[in-house]
Each structure stands twice: as structure tokens, then as C-alpha cells.
């Protein structure tokens, strides 16, 4: 009996030791890469490995077809999550532009822009600092927290005033690896954007800034994104606070608060390597906006508002603000692969109602029901870049029709507008580039000007841009630029500027300055 007991104990210890040895033996997370490379031939193994890292639906599916799955353990390896895109540790990134200029008359150079999305060359100083921390676990779960602080023009060293305009543009956390799919979750305050048009500093289809959250999923061919969030502007129609008497002194109470809810969805198909030198993608996009109704109660600072609606100055009365709705539909078609950094993007976007004024826009020219119903905003836009070792050229253009919500279709609030920009460059050496830029802005309001004539403003801008850059290429940064710009404004364009603005009196205007622009591991410009 004792002998049998010893045998059983010994057998148990042996089984435990063998199990420990199997569990502790390192195992390749992707056992098929080497075998797949051998079958495909030399030079193809790296490509197979690259596809493997792209996750399920790409290389992993190919591996399953090459080597049969025979056990639960093997199935777990095959379905293992792809390596995390969030690395453990701190990260830092930055975008910025700083410059100084003169107009040859003792003042700083001024832009002559008059359209909603004008050439960015003469923009003011601006900077972003990205601070992030990532944490990736062995089971594939990973988290990243990102905070982006933005600093706006007129820094202390220029004004001597320590008061600075600072904003927190990003403050959110993102997680992945919590399912066996490529699903990601984010929650927080985020600049939620798609592709931009660099020359216009504009995200023409999807550009949101909300406090919210979203989900995304992607594989080698498709990407799906959904998002929902809110904002609450500090305009008088969304938020009101007043001081009221209290038991001891005074107190501040909120008499109206209306949060705007914004939801968005985007679906993208990727056509990689359609030909040897061409890939493409197609995106469809939509937004929904809703502003709830509210009651604007009378207070001393609302006399003008109540008089506008012929209401008596009675504290018991309130002006009813109806709920407002709006939406966006859009599409983008993009092409790339025909050269380094070369691409073409075409955008079409239609917005109506509340969304026609933008997420931060306060509706004007409202309907008789005091809503934005009837407002429309239609945009067509395109951007392109082509370059080789010696030359490069960037271009951008857009056309826009905006109609406000009031019934008058012959006022200055309804208009067509557009702009076109072309920036060629000659890469003389790796670091010295000789560039130029030519742009044209136009606007066609439906209403009449002060002299009862139709306005037809045009602005033509010509610039020389010798620069020092990190390397050859139109997108290489940091870039140090010498900028000289001459702008021509016709009479109607000058009439668009406010009274006493010096730009109303000068047909030709000049700008001379030095600029530097950079993006290094930037969240805004990856």
C-alpha cells in the first residue's frame, strides 16, 4: 500500500514537472511566418511577416490555409491579437509654426484672406505639444493616454504680456486588444479628424472637436469608425449664467444650458496595389447634430434680447428656444503610390440645418421659427502632391455654396466662394529648396454692396519661398522659410474688409518675413 502511494506521488510530480516545462518553453506567436517564407521563396518572407503584423484577415488567414490547424493550442496562436500599436512608455510630439514679418510700413505683415478656407502661408504663430503614455500587456491589451496643449499667437516674447491663450486640444485615452479583433475604443476630449488639405490648413470632410467617445475597427481592406460626443458653446443661445441674491451675499446660477449632441460614422475601403504604382481608397461619411430646446429666462443683461422678441420685462416670462437639428453626408476618393508622398484626394460634402454652420458655428440668418432649418453648405475640394528627387508640386482647390436659414436669398449671407493654390519647389540640394506659391481667392455674394451693385471680389497672391528643409520633399519638416508675398486686391475685395481697415485702401499689399514650421511625432500631422 505504501509502495503504491509512493508510485502515485511520483507520477503526480512527474506530470506537474512536464506540464511546467511545456508551459515555460517559449513559443513563437506566429509559427507560420518562417514556413510561409520558405514556400513563397526568398525575398517574400519579409512581406509575409509584414502582412502578419497587419492582423486577422490579412496574413493570418493565409497562414491558416498553408498549415492546417490541428489543435486548440494552435488555434489560440493563430487567433492571437496583432502586436500592439501602443508601446509601453512615454512619448512626446509637437507641431508648430512661428514667424515674424513686416508690411514695409512699420507694422507686421497681414494676410489678405477673405474666404472661409484660404491659403495658409501667412498664418500666425501656433504650437502644439503632445504628451502621451502607453502601456502594452503580454496578452495584447494596450492603452494610450494623449494630452495635447496648444499655444496661440502673440506669445509673451512678442507682447511682453504674460497672459497667453492656451487650449487643451486633446485629452483622451484609447484602448485596443480587449477582443480578438482589431477593435479600438477611445473616450475623452479629442480632435477627431480625417485627411487634411495642407495648403488650406483644412480638414474638409470630417473635423470634429467634442467631449465623447468612439469605436474603430480595421483590417487590410476596410476601416469602420463611429463616434458620439457633445459640446456646449458659451454663446447666449446655449449657455447663460447670472448672479442672484443669496442668504449671504450672492450666488451664480445657470439659467440655461443646451448641450449639442454630435454623432458621426465613417466607412473606408482600401484598394492596395491596384496596379504596380497605384493604390486608392473610398470613404463615405455622415454626421448628425441635435441641439435641445431651452427657455431663456429674463434677466437684466437680456433686455436687448427680450425687446427683439417684443417681450415685456417681466421676470416670470421666458423666451422659448426650439430644438434644432442638422446633418452631414460626404465622400472622399484618394489615390497614391505613383511617387514618394504623391497623392490625390477629392472631397464632396453636403451639410444642412444646424450642421451647415459647423460644430462651433452659432447660426445666423435663422428662420422665422428661430431655427437653422433651410441652411445649406455644399463643398467640393481637392488636394494633390507629386514629387521626385529634383522637383515637387503641391496644389489645392475648393468651391463652396452657403445659404443661410432665412428666406431672403439676395443678401450678403448667401454666397459662392472658392480658392486655388499651387506651390512648386526645386530641390537644389538635399536641404536648400527654391519654392514659390500662386493663389487666387474669389467670392460671389448674392446680395448687393453699399452702392447697390453686385460684388465680385478677387484676390491674387504671389510668393517666393526659398527654404532650408530637413530633406528633399514637399512635406519634409522642420522647414525654415524666407517669405515675400505680393497680394493684389480688386475694388470689390477691398470693400469686403471692415471700415478703417488699411487693406481697404491698398490695391497692392506686401509681406516680408521669416518662418519656421515643424512636426515631430505630431498627433495632428503624423
Does the reported pTM lie above 0.85? no
Give whole-number Cα distances, 434 to 23, 304, 330, 421, 478, in Å: 62, 56, 37, 17, 15
Instruction: Tell me: pLDDT of 228 over 80.
Output: yes
Given 77, 98, 117, the domain boundary residue is: 77
Cβ pair 211, 229 in contact under 8 A: yes
Instruction: Tell me: pLDDT of 344 over 80.
Output: yes
pLDDT confidence of residue 452: 65
| Together in a domain, 200 and 68 | no
Cβ pair 267, 283 in contact under 8 A: yes
508 lies in some domain: no
Instruction: Tell me: pLDDT of 301 over 70.
Output: no
pLDDT digits 0-9 by tens, 392-414? 999 999 999 999 998 887 788 89
Confidence of residue 318 (pLDDT cuts 50, 70, 90): low
Strands 142-151 and 239-245: unpaired
Instruction: Tell me: pLDDT of 298 over 70.
Output: no
| Together in a domain, 210 and 72 | no
Cβ pair 383, 393 in contact under 8 A: no
Higher pLDDT, residue 513 or 80: 513
Host domain of residue 201: 192-387
| Together in a domain, 70 and 214 | no
Give whole-number Cα distances, 157 to 6, 132, 151, 154, 514, in Å: 84, 28, 13, 8, 16
What's the rounded Cα separation, in Å, for the pair 172 and 169?
10
321 lies in some domain: yes
pLDDT confidence of residue 302: 54
Instruction: Tell me: pLDDT of 15 over 70.
Output: no
Looking at 27-36, 119-128, 191-200, which range is the least confident one? Answer: 27-36
pLDDT confidence of residue 307: 56
When pLDDT is averaged across residues 356-373 and rounded to a whole number, the result is 84
What is the percentage of the chain residues whose pLDDT exceeds 90?
Answer: 58
Give whole-number Cα distances, 400 to 63, 77, 241, 443, in Å: 49, 52, 37, 9
125 lies in some domain: no
Instruction: Tell me: pLDDT of 436 over 70.
Output: yes
Per-residue H/E/C for 278-344: EEEEEEEEEEEEEECCEEEECCHHHHHHHHHCCCCCCCCCEEEECCEEEEEEEEEEEEECCCCCCEE
403 lies in some domain: no
Burial bucket for residue 276 (CB in 10 Å: 0-12, 13-18, 19+): exposed
Could you tell me how many residues make up the chain? 526
Counting the structural domains of the chain, the total is 2
Q: Taking the CB of residue 398, how many other CB atoms lie within 10 A of it?
A: 23
Confidence of residue 7 (pLDDT cuts 50, 70, 90): very low
When pLDDT is averaged across residues 130-137 and rounded to a whole number, the result is 96
Instruction: Tell me: pLDDT of 497 over 80.
Output: yes
285 lies in some domain: yes
When pLDDT is averaged across residues 415-423 and rounded to a whole number, the result is 97
Given 77, 97, 127, the domain boundary residue is: 77
Given 77, 99, 118, the domain boundary residue is: 77
Instruction: Tell me: pLDDT of 133 over 70.
Output: yes
473 lies in some domain: no
pLDDT confidence of residue 84: 67
Q: Where are the alpha helices (DSSP H) in 105-204?
A: 156-159
Instruction: Tell me: pLDDT of 306 over 80.
Output: no
Confidence of residue 48 (pLDDT cuts 50, 70, 90): very low
Q: DSSP assignment, residue 359?
A: T
Higher pLDDT, residue 49 or 410: 410
Sequence-separated (6 or more) residues with CB below 8 Å from residue 3 = none
What's the rounded Cα separation, in Å, for the pair 411 and 455?
11
pLDDT confidence of residue 156: 86
Instruction: Tell me: pLDDT of 278 over 50.
Output: yes
pLDDT digits 0-9 by tens, 465-485? 999 999 999 999 999 999 999
When pLDDT is averaged across residues 441-467 and rounded to a whole number, the result is 88
Average pLDDT, the chain: 82
pLDDT confidence of residue 253: 80
166 lies in some domain: no
When pLDDT is averaged across residues 279-300 and rounded to a whole number, the result is 87
| Together in a domain, 202 and 332 | yes
φ, ψ of residue 62 in degrees (nearest 5): -65, -40
Instruction: Tell me: pLDDT of 36 over 70.
Output: no
Higher pLDDT, residue 86 or 268: 268
445 lies in some domain: no
pLDDT confidence of residue 46: 36
When pLDDT is averaged across residues 353-376 and rounded to a whole number, the result is 87
Amino acid at each position: 500500500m505504501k509502495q503504491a502511494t509512493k508510485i502515485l506521488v511520483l507520477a503526480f510530480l512527474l506530470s506537474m514537472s512536464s506540464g511546467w516545462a511545456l508551459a515555460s518553453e517559449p513559443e513563437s506567436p506566429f509559427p507560420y511566418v518562417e514556413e510561409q517564407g520558405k514556400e513563397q521563396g526568398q525575398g517574400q518572407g519579409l512581406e509575409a511577416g509584414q502582412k502578419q503584423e497587419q492582423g486577422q484577415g490579412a496574413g493570418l488567414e493565409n497562414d491558416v490555409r498553408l498549415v492546417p490547424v490541428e489543435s486548440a493550442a494552435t488555434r489560440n496562436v493563430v487567433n492571437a491579437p496583432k502586436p500592439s500599436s501602443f508601446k509601453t512608455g512615454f512619448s512626446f510630439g509637437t507641431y508648430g509654426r512661428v514667424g515674424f514679418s513686416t508690411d514695409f510700413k512699420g507694422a507686421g505683415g497681414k494676410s489678405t484672406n477673405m474666404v472661409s478656407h484660404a491659403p495658409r502661408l501667412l498664418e500666425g504663430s501656433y504650437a502644439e505639444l503632445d504628451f502621451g503614455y502607453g502601456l502594452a500587456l503580454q496578452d495584447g491589451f494596450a492603452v494610450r493616454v494623449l494630452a495635447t496643449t496648444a499655444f496661440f499667437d502673440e506669445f509673451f516674447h512678442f507682447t511682453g504680456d504674460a497672459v497667453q491663450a492656451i487650449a487643451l486640444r486633446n485629452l483622451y485615452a484609447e484602448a485596443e486588444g480587449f477582443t480578438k479583433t482589431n477593435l479600438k475604443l477611445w473616450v475623452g476630449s479629442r480632435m477627431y479628424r480625417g485627411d487634411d488639405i495642407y495648403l488650406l490648413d483644412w480638414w474638409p470632410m470630417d473635423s470634429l472637436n467634442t467631449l465623447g467617445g468612439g469605436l474603430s475597427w480595421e483590417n487590410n481592406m476596410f476601416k469602420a469608425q463611429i463616434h458620439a460626443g457633445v459640446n456646449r458653446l458659451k454663446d447666449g443661445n446655449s449657455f447663460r449664467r447670472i448672479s442672484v441674491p443669496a442668504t449671504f451675499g450672492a450666488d451664480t446660477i445657470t439659467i440655461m444650458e443646451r448641450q449639442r449632441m454630435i454623432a458621426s460614422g465613417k466607412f473606408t475601403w482600401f484598394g492596395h496595389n491596384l496596379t504596380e504604382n497605384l493604390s486608392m481608397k473610398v470613404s463615405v461619411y455622415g454626421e448628425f447634430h441635435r441641439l435641445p430646446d431651452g427657455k431663456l429666462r429674463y434677466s437684466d443683461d437680456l433686455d436687448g434680447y427680450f425687446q427683439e422678441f417684443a417681450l415685456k420685462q417681466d421676470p416670470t416670462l421666458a423666451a422659448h428656444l426650439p430644438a434644432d437639428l442638422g446633418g452631414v453626408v460626404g465622400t472622399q476618393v484618394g489615390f497614391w503610390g505613383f511617387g514618394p508622398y504623391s497623392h490625390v484626394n477629392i472631397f464632396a460634402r453636403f451639410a444642412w440645418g444646424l450642421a451647415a454652420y459647423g460644430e462651433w458655428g452659432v447660426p445666423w440668418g435663422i428662420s422665422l421659427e428661430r431655427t437653422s432649418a433651410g441652411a445649406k453648405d455644399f463643398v467640393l475640394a481637392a488636394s494633390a502632391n507629386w514629387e521626385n528627387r529634383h522637383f515637387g508640386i503641391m496644389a489645392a482647390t475648393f468651391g463652396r455654396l452657403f445659404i443661410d436659414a432665412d428666406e431672403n436669398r439676395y443678401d450678403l449671407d448667401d454666397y459662392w466662394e472658392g480658392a486655388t493654390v499651387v506651390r512648386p519647389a526645386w530641390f537644389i540640394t538635399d536641404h536648400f529648396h527654391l519654392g514659390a506659391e500662386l493663389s487666387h481667392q474669389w467670392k460671389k455674394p448674392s446680395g448687393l454692396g453699399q452702392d447697390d451693385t453686385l460684388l465680385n471680389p478677387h484676390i491674387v497672391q504671389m510668393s517666393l519661398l526659398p527654404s532650408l528643409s530637413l530633406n528633399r520633399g514637399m512635406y519634409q519638416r522642420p522647414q525654415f522659410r524666407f517669405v515675400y508675398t505680393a497680394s493684389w486686391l480688386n475694388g470689390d475685395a477691398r470693400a469686403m474688409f471692415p471700415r478703417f481697415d488699411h487693406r481697404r485702401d491698398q490695391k497692392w499689399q506686401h509681406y516680408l518675413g521669416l518662418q519656421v514650421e515643424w512636426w515631430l511625432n505630431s498627433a495632428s500631422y503624423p
